[in-house]
Chains A and B, each alone.
Chain A
Amino acid sequence: MELPILFFLVAGMLVYSLSPLFGPRKSRSDEPGAELRRRIADLDAEKANTLRAIKDVEFERATGKLSDEDHEELHSLYTRKAAEILADLETLRNEADRADDIR
């Protein structure tokens, strides 16, 4: 009794698993603009890291691990870096929007 059930179950799984093969071909290749999007994503990650760095140094000063001078130095360093990244991001985003418009 249980064996026919198993047979049908496995047959069902096989159909489920292999059915995508009979659909239309899907290329895994990157669509146009993927490279640009990847660069934006990378830059986004870098932005998050830098913003987190600013929060970090604020927190470390608040809990007394960083002197005011060191805090000042690092804070301005990261702020500068963050400003650069934000500017770059904006340029890239505009570029991406233009590419979308053309398409």
Chain B
Amino acid sequence: MVTFGTLSQFAALAFSLLTMACLLLGVMRDDGRWVQAGRRCLVSVAACATLASIALGYLFLSNNFQVEYVASYSDRALPLFYKLTAFWAGQKGSLLFWAWVLSLFSALVVYNNRRDPDSRLTPYVYLVLGGTLSFFLFLLCVVSSPFDLLDFVPKDGQGLNPMLQNPGMVFHPPTLFLGYIGFTVPFAYAIAAMTTGTTDASWIKKTRAWNVLSWIFLTVGIILGGQWAYVELGWGGYWAWDPVENASFIPWLASTAFIHTAIIQERRGIMKVWNMALILLTFLLCIFGTYLVRSGVLQSVHDFGATGLGGYFLAFLAIATIGGVYLLAESYRQFKTPNALESYLSRESTFLFNNVILLALAFATLLGTVFPFLSEAITGNKVTVGQPFFNQVNTPLFLVLIAITGVCPLIGWRKASPENLRKNFLRPALFALAAAVVLFASGIRMSYALLSFTLCAFVAGTILQEFVLAVLSRKAVTGEASWTAAPRLLWRMRRRYGGHLVHLGLVLVVVGITGSSAFKLEAQGTLSKGESLAIGEYELKYENFRKYEKLNRTIYAATLGVFTDGARIGSLDAERRYYVNARQPTTEVSLRSTLKEDLYVTMPGISRNGDITLKVAVNPLLVWIWIGGGLMVLGGILAIIPKRRRETP
């Protein structure tokens, strides 16, 4: 099966090179036969990559530890589910996963274009997809193959890192990768549009679903990553601004900017060059993200080329950047349209500012992420850029972003009348002011928290007002009752209100972030059986201790009674786990989550006499981060459900 996998990879590489050759010939000779052959080659790449992936999955399932990759990330005791997901636990498998998914996406693009097989755009789209595939398949075949063998056959594998044996971690990398990979398709269309001089918005229309879907995947990936960090790492937080996290956040910001201005191009036919630049940036950041996460550069800053991947990735990035910028410059004149807006006060212009802020945030995050390298290269000074830095720099930027999210629904497309704007501004502003007064009266004095909550109230107020006004006007026209008009409006204008729903989700996320970071309580203590530890309004009583075996681990669990006002409201099991094949015990987080706050308990130590050391935190409003994240995803999905009726010319 090892040879089978290796050969499949080589076959995939051969087909992807063949794809490029056929398409180039077809375009140069103006011969549709070659183009069709190239298209079929692209489908064959998907088939071969699928075979290679099946082979790797089979090797994991059959415990073939002579394969170095399998030995590094699996062992006999690993549960079946995690054996399959160990596929993408390391660099080599992740590369195969990337290539496989991209090949499937490419085949999907071919399928979607089956009815107009010979448009001017598509050969170039396939060419870019084939080129990107060739790069990843080349890495797999030549530099870092998951099918490499060890010189000996170990009795057992080294096992999967216990921290990765968690459902959140199982789905976090692939969803993130799906997002990264998905943006290759709009990128390919943009390159094709530039090459062929297709100046209309057709590429934006065709790739809208890809954009939003990839954005959704990135969002889900980021949320799952935060959730995993929260329940698995045990330090009480969900986001540490470490480079791996930033690598997913930066493209998310760029793609969010792109999604907004893409709407403008679709509606108004302006900002063509800017959109090309943004999708190019998004794609580059996605590749850069993959590189940061999976090349090993972060684990050991000093062996930059240790895995041999760094140079290739940088070369690919350089080629894509230079090629993209060259095409942009070449086609600039062609794409440059006389941009015209009816009014300086329009949603179009608010989108311009939202772009500026999103990109400033992306820049700040990128700069902070690479600053240690930069500083060492330029001044020779080693510095660390950690969480407090990002909080300091990004928080003000983020608050500005929230504010503009609130202003946006107040200003209509094309033009807003100033007096109406003033009138519409009044209610949400009063609502926000009232919220601020209530919060202040209830004793909240932290300036950031107060500002953040007030802005959130403002945004929620404007979105609500816009929706209520729209429902009222629909009622006036159709004579429906509110409870039928509201859902019908939501459904009929789902693109618009899907977007608003995403913003509402963002508000909830910000509420959760603000509450849990500004009002967090922490306590630590060592308890003997029967003793308790108090935090906030809770009291935790150490009631019982157990030890038991489960699957591939031994678990030491302390049962803690949770009391408020002397009444027992539940219990928590604080756990330490000893995994087979793991050198260190891991701490399991136990959590009591309510809409108001999370009670978060870890047990860093157990002493011989049975005393336990507990770390406890109360994270107010934290659960709203997950709820808001869910709402953002739902809004995104709502916005891309295709409409059934089509305009008949």
- Quick check: B11 and A64 within 8 Å, CB to CB? no
Complex contacts, A62 vs chain B, CB 8 Å: 469-470, 473
Complex contacts, B43 vs chain A, CB 8 Å: 17
Complex contacts, B47 vs chain A, CB 8 Å: 9, 13
- Quick check: A17 and B267 within 8 Å, CB to CB? no
Q: Assuming the A-B contacts A3-B7, A60-B416, are A21 and B33 also in contact, with contact meaning beta carbons closer than 8 angstroms in the complex?
A: yes
Complex contacts, B30 vs chain A, CB 8 Å: 27-29
Q: How distant is A11 from chain B, measured CB to nearest CB, in Å?
A: 10
- Once the chains are docked, how many angstroms separate the CA of A29 from the CA of B35? 13
Instruction: Across the interface, name the chain A residue whose C-beta is closest to B30.
Output: A28
- In the complex, whether A48 has a CB less than 8 A from a CB of chain B is yes
Interface size class of chain A, counting residues whose CB lies under 8 Å from the partner chain = 35 or more
Partner of B268, one of A10, A49, A57, A64: A49
Complex contacts, A27 vs chain B, CB 8 Å: 30-32
- Quick check: A66 and B412 within 8 Å, CB to CB? yes
- In the complex, whether B479 has a CB less than 8 A from a CB of chain A is no
- Once the chains are docked, how many angstroms separate the CA of A44 from the CA of B201? 12
- Quick check: A66 and B416 within 8 Å, CB to CB? yes
Q: How distant is B220 from chain A, measured CB to nearest CB, in Å?
A: 31
Q: Assuming the A-B contacts A63-B470, A67-B419, are A17 and B18 also in contact, with contact meaning beta carbons closer than 8 angstroms in the complex?
A: yes
- Quick check: B268 and A56 within 8 Å, CB to CB? no
Could you say which of A10, A52, A53 has the most chain B C-beta atoms within 10 Å of its C-beta?
A10
- Once the chains are docked, how many angstroms separate the CA of A23 from the CA of B33? 7
- Quick check: B4 and A49 within 8 Å, CB to CB? no
Complex contacts, B342 vs chain A, CB 8 Å: 74
Q: Of B140-148, B420-428, B628-636, which binds chain A?
A: B420-428
Partner of B41, one of A17, A28, A48, A63: A17
Complex contacts, B420 vs chain A, CB 8 Å: 64-67
- Once the chains are docked, how many angstroms separate the CA of A6 from the CA of B7? 8
- In the complex, whether B124 has a CB less than 8 A from a CB of chain A is no
Partner of B417, one of A6, A44, A52, A66: A66
- Once the chains are docked, how many angstroms separate the CA of A69 from the CA of B413? 16
- In the complex, whether B350 has a CB less than 8 A from a CB of chain A is no
- Quick check: B40 and A56 within 8 Å, CB to CB? no
- Quick check: B412 and A65 within 8 Å, CB to CB? yes
Q: Assuming the A-B contacts A17-B37, A74-B342, are A45 and B200 also in contact, with contact meaning beta carbons closer than 8 angstroms in the complex?
A: yes
Instruction: Across the interface, name the chain A residue whose C-beta is closest to B414.
Output: A56
Partner of B40, one of A20, A25, A28: A20
Which residues of B109-147 have CB atoms within 8 Å of chain A's CB atoms?
118, 123
- Quick check: A10 and B11 within 8 Å, CB to CB? yes
- Quick check: A45 and B201 within 8 Å, CB to CB? yes
- In the complex, whether A70 has a CB less than 8 A from a CB of chain B is yes
- In the complex, whether B288 has a CB less than 8 A from a CB of chain A is no
- Once the chains are docked, how many angstroms separate the CA of A70 from the CA of B342? 11
Complex contacts, A57 vs chain B, CB 8 Å: 412, 414-415
- In the complex, whether B96 has a CB less than 8 A from a CB of chain A is no
Query: In the complex, how many residues of chain B place their beta carbon closer than 8 angstroms to a beta carbon of chain A?
Result: 52
- In the complex, whether A8 has a CB less than 8 A from a CB of chain B is no
Partner of A60, one of B18, B34, B201, B413: B413
Partner of A26, one of B32, B44, B201: B32
Q: Assuming the A-B contacts A6-B7, A65-B417, are A25 and B33 also in contact, with contact meaning beta carbons closer than 8 angstroms in the complex?
A: yes
Partner of A3, one of B4, B417, B469, B473: B4
Instruction: Across the interface, name the chain A residue whose C-beta is closest to B31.
Output: A25
Main secondary structure of the interface of B (DSSP, over half): helix
- In the complex, whether B293 has a CB less than 8 A from a CB of chain A is no
- Quick check: A64 and B415 within 8 Å, CB to CB? no
Which residues of B7-52 have CB atoms within 8 Å of chain A's CB atoms?
7-8, 11, 15, 18, 26-27, 30-37, 40-41, 43-44, 47-48, 51
Could you say which of A2, A20, A45, A66 has the most chain B C-beta atoms within 10 Å of its C-beta?
A20
- In the complex, whether A18 has a CB less than 8 A from a CB of chain B is yes
- Quick check: A49 and B33 within 8 Å, CB to CB? no
Q: Assuming the A-B contacts A16-B40, A25-B31, are A60 and B414 also in contact, with contact meaning beta carbons closer than 8 angstroms in the complex?
A: yes
Partner of B412, one of A10, A25, A44, A60: A60
- Once the chains are docked, how many angstroms separate the CA of A60 from the CA of B267? 15
- Once the chains are docked, how many angstroms separate the CA of A6 from the CA of B6? 11
Instruction: Across the interface, name the chain A residue whose C-beta is closest to B47.
Output: A13
- In the complex, whether A42 has a CB less than 8 A from a CB of chain B is yes
Q: Mark A14-42, 1 if CB is under 8 A from B, else 0.
A: 10111111010111110000000000001
Q: Mark B461-481, 1 if CB is under 8 A from A, else 0.
A: 000001001100100000000
Q: How distant is B26 from chain A, measured CB to nearest CB, in Å?
A: 7
- Quick check: A2 and B412 within 8 Å, CB to CB? no
- Once the chains are docked, how many angstroms separate the CA of A52 from the CA of B205? 15
- Once the chains are docked, how many angstroms separate the CA of A10 from the CA of B6? 13
Q: How distant is B634 from chain A, measured CB to nearest CB, in Å?
A: 23
Give 25 A-B contacts (CB < 8 Å), ordered by A residue.
A2-B4, A3-B3, A13-B44, A16-B44, A17-B41, A20-B40, A21-B33, A25-B33, A28-B118, A45-B201, A49-B269, A59-B470, A60-B412, A60-B414, A62-B473, A63-B412, A63-B469, A64-B420, A64-B424, A65-B410, A65-B411, A65-B424, A66-B420, A67-B420, A74-B414
State the B residues within 8 Å of A (CB).
Answer: 1, 3-4, 7-8, 11, 15, 18, 26-27, 30-37, 40-41, 43-44, 47-48, 51, 118, 123, 200-201, 267-269, 342, 410-417, 419-421, 423-424, 466, 469-470, 473, 647, 649
State the A residues within 8 Å of B (CB).
Answer: 2-3, 6, 9-10, 13-14, 16-21, 23, 25-29, 42, 44-45, 48-49, 52-53, 56-57, 59-60, 62-67, 69-70, 74
Sorted nearest first, the 5 A-B pairs with minimum C-beta distance are A60-B412, A26-B32, A62-B473, A65-B412, A67-B417
